[in-house]
Chain A
Amino acid sequence: MTRRLAWLALGLVVIGALVYGVTDRSTATAHERAQKLGQTIMCPACSGESVADSQAPVAVFIRHQIADMVAKGESDEQIRDSLTAAYGDRIILNPPKSGVAGLVWVLPVAVLVAALAGLVVVFRRWRTPLDAHVTPDDVDAVERARRAEGS
């Protein structure tokens, strides 16, 4: 009983802390928005670094452009579009979600689902069918044995 209480208390503490910790959300400043966008744009002169991380001259330039466009009030979509117009699709660090490229998002989930399904099938096949039935004779035999032991 005390153990159940302990687990219950534990659950309450965890949920309380999580609720407190998750709901405290401040709105993003312009700088933070530009920063977040910058982390999804690749620096075209580097090997996979984002413009937010790279110190290459072109990365500094693109960061300025993003900051300017954010200040002008353009949306994330518009900013991405104007950059891809000049640099091509490869500048967005995330592969597009539609078309053939969308496969890279879909395949891992599909494989995971398939793996889980496979596990379920395999476990079901491993479960030995219960073909033992308890008869009244078995019960008597057990009772006799227990009495014999007790005496």
Chain B
Amino acid sequence: MNVSASLGTLAVALGFASSAVGVITLAMGLRTRQARMLKAGRAYAGMALAAAFLAFVVMERALLAHDFSLRYVANNGSRATPTIYTFASLWGALEGSIILWSLVLTIYTVAVCVRFRERVTDPLVAWATLTMLGVSTFFFALMLGPANPFRVISGLVPADGNGPNPLLQDHPLMAIHPPFLYLGYVGFTVPFAFCVAALVTGRVGEGWLAITRRWTLLAWGFLTVGIVLGAWWSYEVLGWGGFWAWDPVENASFLPWLTGTAYIHSVMVQERRGMLRVWNLSLLLATFSLTILGTFLTRSGVLDSVHSFTQSSIGVWLLSFFGLVVAVSLGLIAWRGDRLRAPGRIDSPLSREGAFLANNVLFAGFAFVVLLGTVFPLVYEALKGDQITVGRPYFDRMTLPIAIALLFIMAVAPVLPWRKASAELLRHRLLWPAWAGAAAIVLAVLAGARGLAPLLAFGLAGFAAGSACRQLVLAARAARRNGASIFGALVGRANGGMVVHLGVIVIAVAFTAATSFSHSNEFRLTEGQTAHIGGHSITYLDTVTKKTARETKITARVKVDGGQVFGPALNQFPNATQTIGTPSVDVGLRRDVYLTFVEAPKTPHGSALIGVVVEPLVSWLWAGGLLMAIGTLLALVPGRRRIPTAPVSEQPVPDRTLTPA
């Protein structure tokens, strides 16, 4: 009897059982209005967490101890792999990644139970916990069914495993990109659960969404970091010099981010004016549905991607779950939707409400374009039998106008007051930001940038940055007037939001510069020969070959600008059909010099084909991502307390805890 397999399977079964029983208990407790049963839900959530943690520990131990009697370890681990990648190989393939998902989900469930423990007998909290346990049941069921990580090897136990996919062993970013992504994806289960709860109980107008707003922001923050890390990994590992290819899996992670961002803005309209309740609920339901759809697209093999896991019947399960989630969401909205319509109105399009409305239309449109482009080849092939491709040029062209419009709104919206603004007011408030935008265009032209779209983007970025800085300066002055520290000017939702905007602007500038003004070429160089590109020189020195048990690595040594030597390489793994290239990057503040080894010399000391891309401002992308993360953290800190007499339509949450029967 295989101890690891038995223990692991036991853990998964325990997780499944406690989630399922938890769902049933809470359902019965809600039906019979028994407080005791509702309180028991917390215990079941805790058991599910313990089970998931046990499964995680068992698998990690098996991986680190190279226990090849487990099929998952034999397929994804090997003795030659460094420890950090062995640890990370837990989430490197399908079955193990479900362990991670279950662990994160049960952690969130327990966190919700703890946070709302005062109101544990409130039906709304009970419904939310029930929903989360229901999702948990599904993921544990996946591990009992098609994605069983603890399957045992039949026959002889191999002496060594296959090791992770070579692309997953190249870079330490592989170790942190999936966990952040999962913390984001799974985090959206919390607002989804509360939406379902609010709709089922009919209690939508009580500000419950405002309470879960922080959870949504946290999940959104994690997802943002996960996506940026993914782009960074793609840049450092995949060898094409780019970081965003509109690959189906990238799109799958981007879609919930888009709807989540729309929600973060439109929920403020709900708080202030009580409007857009149905729309906000729909956004949150859509965000969660998109995470499930994204998981399906990534793992089912229906789309070709560098992320494609091997085919298994998990596709059917995930697609069915997606269908269930969508059916439940749509059903609830159809049932309760008309009851939720608020009588408010937006007085003028030229107001902050109007700007948020425009923001939402643009983000929804953005999501529509990305979704359409991603699934269109599938639909087309199903209808006509022919294959077409919707690739990067389509997405670039379609999303560019939306991005430009969003930059413009990002510039104007922060200075807009609620309810109504006059052109006079705008002229007064936007003057300095507009000069910042003009300065940005002039600077760009002086730096050599050409072309309408990039210059427009730079100008609007400067405009938006000026606007965000203006808000921060005003907040700093207000903080000083009220006797608070300058730090007080940075925390809180509005100010943290401005910092996030600055992060987005930095990313927009970097994206524009890197995609519009890069120089690339391939040079066939003999040893000692130098080539020039984009104001830099590269000198090919020689080629070094190193053979290990794991791989054969051929490295070209290339000197950049007569200084440091870099080593783009070609790796040959015994089980792969193609050699895999490893790029080498000279990272700089103003530009990256990206080197790839295209063709090795055919004769000893022969000529080699070296690819070079000089890309401006790429490191600003990662800096912008960091800024966004910092801004999110600042926004999560409670800011200045709202003045009690300020008009809001958020009513205090009534205490509906059950009185004992």
Residues of A bordering B, CB below 8 Å: 3, 6-7, 10, 13-14, 17-18, 20-22, 24-25, 31, 35, 39-40, 42, 45, 47-50, 52-57, 60, 88-96, 100-101, 103-105, 107-108, 111-112, 115-116, 119, 123, 126, 128
Contact = CB atoms under 8 A, between A and B. Distances in A.
Interface residues of B, number: 66
B607 to A, nearest CB: 15
Interface stretch (B315-323, B449-457, B481-489): B449-457
B345 A126 contact: yes
Contacts of A18: 441, 452, 455-456, 459
Nearest to A31: B521
Given A48-B389, A93-B392, A55 B372 contact: no
A112 B455 contact: no
A151 B489 CA distance: 44
B445 A95 contact: no
A134 B438 CA distance: 46
A55 B598 contact: yes
B114 to A, nearest CB: 41
A71 to B, nearest CB: 16
A40 B393 contact: yes
B451 A108 contact: no
A6 B431 contact: yes
Contacts of A128: 345
B187 interface: no
Q: Which of A6, A10, A53, A90 has the most CB of B within 10 A?
A: A53
Contacts of B388: 89-90, 92, 95-96, 101
Given A35-B520, A54-B240, A55-B239, A49 B349 contact: no
B435 interface: yes
Contacts of A108: 365, 368-369, 372, 398
A50 B445 CA distance: 30
Given A40-B391, A55-B598, A94-B394, 10 more contacts: A13-B438, A14-B459, A17-B438, A20-B445, A22-B455, A31-B521, A35-B520, A95-B390, A111-B368, A119-B358
Contact of B578 (A17, A20, A57): A57
Nearest to B242: A53
Given A47-B306, A50-B391, A89 B452 contact: no
A3 B429 CA distance: 11
Interface in B486-537: 520-521
Contact of A100 (B380, B389, B459): B380
A94 B389 CA distance: 7
A51 to B, nearest CB: 10
B431 A53 contact: no
B555 to A, nearest CB: 15
Given A13-B438, A22-B451, A60 B394 contact: no
Q: Which of B241, B383, B445 has the most CB of A within 10 A?
A: B445
Contact of A48 (B239, B305, B598): B305
B338 interface: no
28 contacts: A7-B434, A20-B445, A21-B441, A21-B451, A22-B452, A24-B450, A40-B393, A42-B391, A47-B304, A47-B305, A48-B248, A48-B304, A50-B391, A53-B241, A55-B596, A55-B598, A60-B599, A89-B388, A89-B389, A91-B389, A93-B390, A94-B390, A95-B390, A100-B383, A104-B394, A107-B372, A119-B361, A123-B346
A14 B383 CA distance: 49
A123 B364 CA distance: 19
Interface of B: 239-242, 245-248, 304-306, 308, 345-347, 349, 357-358, 361, 364-365, 368-369, 372-373, 376-377, 380, 383-384, 386-394, 398, 427-428, 431, 434-435, 437-438, 441-442, 444-445, 449-452, 455-456, 459, 520-521, 578, 581, 596, 598-599, 611
A35 B450 CA distance: 19
Contacts of A111: 365, 368
Contacts of B242: 53
A94 to B, nearest CB: 5
A126 B346 contact: yes
A17 B593 CA distance: 29
A57 B357 CA distance: 49
B452 to A, nearest CB: 5
Given A10-B434, A88-B387, A108-B365, A123 B245 contact: no
Contacts of A88: 386-387
A39 B242 CA distance: 12
A47 B308 contact: yes
A115 B364 contact: yes
Nearest to B380: A101
A105 B435 CA distance: 36
B245 A104 contact: no
Contacts of A126: 345-347
B310 to A, nearest CB: 15
B385 to A, nearest CB: 12
Contacts of A49: 240, 245
Nearest to B365: A112
B449 A21 contact: yes
Contacts of A123: 346, 349
A22 B358 CA distance: 29
A57 B600 CA distance: 12
Nearest to A57: B578
A88 B387 CA distance: 8
B441 A89 contact: no
A137 to B, nearest CB: 28
Contacts of B305: 47-48
Given A10-B435, A21-B450, A111-B368, A42 B389 contact: yes
Given A31-B521, A94-B391, A55 B431 contact: no
A104 B521 CA distance: 33
B266 to A, nearest CB: 14
A10 B455 CA distance: 16
A100 B596 contact: no
Contacts of A107: 372
Given A47-B306, A53-B241, A55-B240, A22 B450 contact: yes
A21 B438 contact: no
Contacts of A35: 520
A39 B393 contact: yes
A107 B371 CA distance: 12
A18 B398 CA distance: 23
Given A22-B451, A111-B365, A93 B431 contact: no
Q: Which of B392, B449, B611 has the most CB of A within 10 A?
A: B392
A95 B389 contact: yes
A132 B611 CA distance: 73
Nearest to A49: B240
B373 to A, nearest CB: 7
B466 to A, nearest CB: 12
Contacts of B349: 119, 123
B455 A17 contact: yes
Contact of B245 (A17, A31, A40, A48): A48
A128 B343 CA distance: 13
B365 A115 contact: yes
B393 A17 contact: no
B391 A3 contact: no
B536 to A, nearest CB: 18
A21 B445 contact: yes
A18 B458 CA distance: 11
